[in-house]
Amino acid sequence: MTRPLAPDVVRGLTEIVGAANVITDPDRLLVYESDGLSAYRVSPRAVVLPGTSDEVAAVVTLLHLEGIEIVPRGAGTGLSGGALPTPDGVVVGTARMNRIIEIDPENRLARVQPGVINARLTEATQPYGLFYAPDPSSQSTCTLGGNVAENSGGPHCLKYGVTSRYVTGLTVVLAGGRIVKLGGAGRDSAGGLDLVGLFVGSEGCFGIATEIEVRLLPIAEGVRTLLGIFETMEAAGHAVTEIMGSGLLPAAVEIIDRATIEAVEASIFAAGYPTDAGAALVVEFDGTEAGLDLGADRAEKCCFEAGAREVRRATSEAERAALWKGRKKAFGAMGRIAPDLLVQDATVPRTKLPEVLARIAEIGERYDLKIANVFHAGDGNLHPNILFDRKNAEELDRVERASTEIMHLCVDAGGTITGEHGVGIDKRGYMSLVHNETELEMLRSVRAVFDPDRLFNRGKVLPDPLAET
Ligand SMILES: Cc1cc2nc3c(=O)[nH]c(=O)nc-3n(C[C@H](O)[C@H](O)[C@H](O)COP(=O)(O)OP(=O)(O)OC[C@H]3O[C@@H](n4cnc5c(N)ncnc54)[C@H](O)[C@@H]3O)c2cc1C
């Protein structure tokens, strides 16, 4: 049972951000009680929505003085429970901080508030011939603040790299309400240690990013998009190995399995993928026009050599959008099959994909669970989506056991527990699979530099709950 905040704390918060931006009504708090990891739900004591860095600092100062835990929140699309409220905590949301402060085309930089939606930034920079490269599949909803905290990736990060490669400056509110500026003006460090690098991927455990400076890239001259259709996932996995092993550098290589194809084709997002196919592979090349066709031809050959029964190639922007549709709408389509979804995001070496995918299918059968796969194959970043209904406790137990087996399988195959969704609460228990006690102690020490009282996102990421309370 969540404890309500003391009236004087509510009053203090209201004085800082205005009554409309302090939510304590239990009905309105329902919206905030989980993120994309819907199996877990906790009602926060309150949600506060500041509008500026100074308001964030004042809110954090007050909560710190009261010893109240703080959960930063962007759009709540995270899949590892990072924005899940803590029972004693207050959620500080960035939804009102959604302004693009500056676009600097000459220096190819942009400065934004943390609540800016990822896709809005590229829309705003397009007229300058520029784009923001990290493109999570949730980009129409997720925020830059969430992307920074999770060091998010996306389909095109195979070629362009993840968020950490693009963040050059941050304004951060630390515990106690201290405001610090890290990096900036195109440099990730003003001299000394790379504190921007340290903050990116800190999963809301270090403080709240209130301003973000990012690098922009010139929009590529041309693009070629292919869709390979395969009888089996194994064959599609071999095609990925062939493509990547042949020296090509596609912008994206994404796999969609049969269960996902069936879900998409039965939904309003139907993309025209054949429903009897075992897997589909989206491969995209971008860059200067010269050489693009050659790359696409070679990738097509790799697909056929791996056993593709058909390879489609987009000849217009509309056709390209159609080929991508099945991939981009996959998560939405799965909502038709089951009320809840647990998305794992372990990574494995690319060469292990066929073997690991076969083992995941076997785990699904053994636990009598439907597992649909749609993932960033070029990076070896798996997303087995386990479909279930959280109201069925026995099924939820099977989901958790299957999920644990998948984690062990991926780590044993030489992979790791998260490619891009973060540890949050979901994978906190698996941290010791990939870190020894000394490494975990180092992580705790680094965190303590930013947040000595562990008020931000307490109980997340680090495995030892005793050390976190
Ligand atoms: C359909 C779907 C597809 C997805 N595809 C991808 C994908 O391709 N690649 C990928 O990487 N992820 C993907 N995700 C996961 C998710 O969208 C990303 O992790 C995203 O970066 C979260 O952003 P958010 O604004 O929703 O953050 P939230 O979920 O609100 O928060 C995420 C974490 O960031 C912290 N946080 C939020 N804002 C701040 C801030 N200003 N300062 C400090 N900490 C903060 C929170 O405390 C939490 O720990 C997907 C999710 C969905 C639902």
pLDDT tens digits, 101-121: 999 999 999 999 999 999 999
Q: Within this chain, do residues 132 and 166 fall inside the same structural domain, yes or no? A: yes
> Domains in the chain: how many in total?
3
231 CA to middle of ligand 1, Å? Answer: 34
Is the minimum distance from the CB of 53 to ligand 1 under 6 angstroms? no
Atom of ligand 1 nearest to the CA of 330: 1
For residue 38, which amino acid is it? S
Could you tell me the distance, in angstroms and rounded to a whole number, from the CA of residue 83 to the centre of ligand 1? 8
Residue 466 has pLDDT above 60, yes or no: no
3-state secondary structure (DSSP) of residue 173: strand
Same domain, 320 and 371: no
204 CB under 6 A from ligand 1?
A: yes
Q: Are both 295 and 390 inside the same structural domain?
A: no
Q: Looking at the CA of residue 71, tell me the nearest atom of ligand 1.
A: 47
Q: Which of 52, 77, 196, 324 to mutate to test the pocket of ligand 1 (most atoms within 8 A of CB)?
A: 77
User: CATH number of the domain that 347 lies in?
Assistant: 3.30.70.2740
CATH of the domain at 227: 3.30.70.2190
**285 or 377, higher pLDDT:** 285
Atom of ligand 1 nearest to the CA of 460: 49
* Residue-wise burial string across 388-425, b where 16 or more C-beta atoms lie within 10 A, e elsewhere: bebeeeebbebbbebbebbbebbbebebbbbbbbbbbb
Are residue 258 and residue 206 in the same domain, yes or no? Answer: no
**Residues 130, 184 share a domain:** yes
Ligand 1: does its nearest atom lie under 6 Å from the Cβ of 51?
Answer: no
3-state secondary structure of 46: strand
Please check the confidence at residue 331 and state whether its pLDDT lies above 80: yes
Q: Do 292 and 379 fall into the same domain?
A: no
Give the three-state DSSP class for 279. Answer: strand
- Same structural domain, 226 and 326: yes
* pLDDT single digits (tens) 146-203: 999 999 999 999 999 999 999 999 999 999 999 999 998 877 666 788 999 999 999 9
Q: Please state, in angstroms and as integers, the Cα–Cα distance from residue 198 to each residue in 172, 279, 443, following that order.
A: 12, 38, 11
Whether residue 226 is found in the same domain as residue 262: yes
- In 42-107, where does DSSP find H-type helix? 53-65
Domain-embedded: residue 94: no
Say if residue 303 is in the same domain as residue 344: no
Q: Are residues 209 and 120 located together in one domain of the fold? A: yes
Cα–Cα distance measured from residue 118 to residue 147, given in angstroms and rounded to the nearest whole number: 8
Residue 203 Cβ < 6 Å to ligand 1: yes
Whole-number Å distance between alpha carbons of 132 and 123: 9
H-helix or E-strand spanning residue 183: strand 179-183
Residue 220 half-sphere exposure toward CB, CA atoms < 13 A: 18
Query: Which pLDDT belongs to residue 84?
Result: 97
Cβ count within 10 A of residue 62: 18
Q: Is the CB of 72 under 6 A from ligand 1?
A: yes
Query: What pLDDT is recorded for position 334?
Result: 86
CB-ligand 1 contact for 177 (6 Å cutoff):
no
The predicted model gives 413-429 an average pLDDT of 93
At 126-135, the pLDDT tens digits run 999 999 999 9
Which residue range(s) make up the domain with 284?
222-332
Query: What is the Cα–Cα distance from 194 to 168, expressed in whole angstroms?
Result: 10
Other CB atoms within a 10 A radius of the CB of residue 56 amount to 29
